[in-house]
Amino acid sequence: MRVGVVTFPGSLDDVDARRAVRVAGHEAVALWHRDHDLQGVDAVVLPGGFSYGDYLRCGAISRFSPIMTEVVAGAGHGLPVLGICNGFQILCESHLLPGALIRNDHQKFVCRDQRLRIESTATPWTSSYEVGQEIVVPLKNGEGCFVADRDTLDRIEGDGRVVARYLEVNPNGSMRDIAGIRNERGNVVGLMPHPEHAVEAGFGPGTDGLGFFRLVEALVG
């Protein structure tokens, strides 16, 4: 598969994300925020970082970049989209995912190897995991506190749309320990921790993150 990784001004983890795509056996395609062109990719990753310096709100300005017009349209047609960290923030700002991400409740930037439980495998990004599987991947964020109103949270949980939950420690105050969610269709996933930093032995806590990039032909659509 050809997997596009968007670079915004201020993206940080686009190179690691492209490497993770290649390690998983796919072709990585660099996409540019100012282009109106997805170059025919089969899936898109919005990487972590500080696009537009996190000005206004994290992801708020990136949402209106030309490439996001195409990503939003593609997502509507079932294109698999994974937003990691800043990418998750952009997906929430784009209303492709519910809720929002605000400053960590303890006010400090957090960087740690984080244990997660995968709770939904009905997405192309998590279909190589088992429901209930525990993984450890790096987490690093200053504004990773997932919030939504009670009705939204109940709906997300009731529909089985929590993709991953924090275990042992809630690192940022996220409601109901939510680390990642998906849209109703399952093709769009947002995740605060960084699976792209855990795809090669000897670099990071292990290779638990690789499964996100395997993109096993999934039950999308």
Partner 1 sequence: MARVVVDVMLKPEILDPQGKAVQGALPRLGFEGISDVRQGKRFELEVGEVTEARLAEVRTIAETLLSNPVIEDFEVHVEENAQ
Residues taking part in catalysis: 85, 194, 196
Pick one of 12, 100, 110, 122: the residue that binds partner 1 (CB under 8 A): 100
| C-alpha–C-alpha distance, residues 163 and 154, integer Å | 14
Alpha helices (H) along 35-105: 66-76, 86-93
Which of the stretches 3-11, 14-22, 141-149, 179-187 binds partner 1 when contact is defined by CB under 8 A? 141-149
Question: Which is nearer to partner 1, 3 or 90 (by Cβ)?
Answer: 90
| Count of residues of this chain found to bind partner 1 when the rule CB under 8 A is applied | 20
- Which of 50, 21, 16 has its CA nearest to residue 144? 50
Percent helix, strand, coil in the chain (nearest 5)? 25, 30, 45
| C-alpha–C-alpha distance, residues 110 and 87, integer Å | 17
Task: Supply the minimum distance, in Å, between the C-beta of residue 105 and partner 1.
Answer: 6
Task: Supply the minimum distance, in Å, between the C-beta of residue 150 and partner 1.
Answer: 9
Interface of this chain with partner 1, residues 31 to 70, rule: CB under 8 A: 56-57, 60, 64
| C-alpha–C-alpha distance, residues 217 and 125, integer Å | 10
Q: Which residues bind partner 1 (CB under 8 A)?
A: 56-57, 60, 64, 92-93, 98-100, 102-107, 145, 147-149, 173
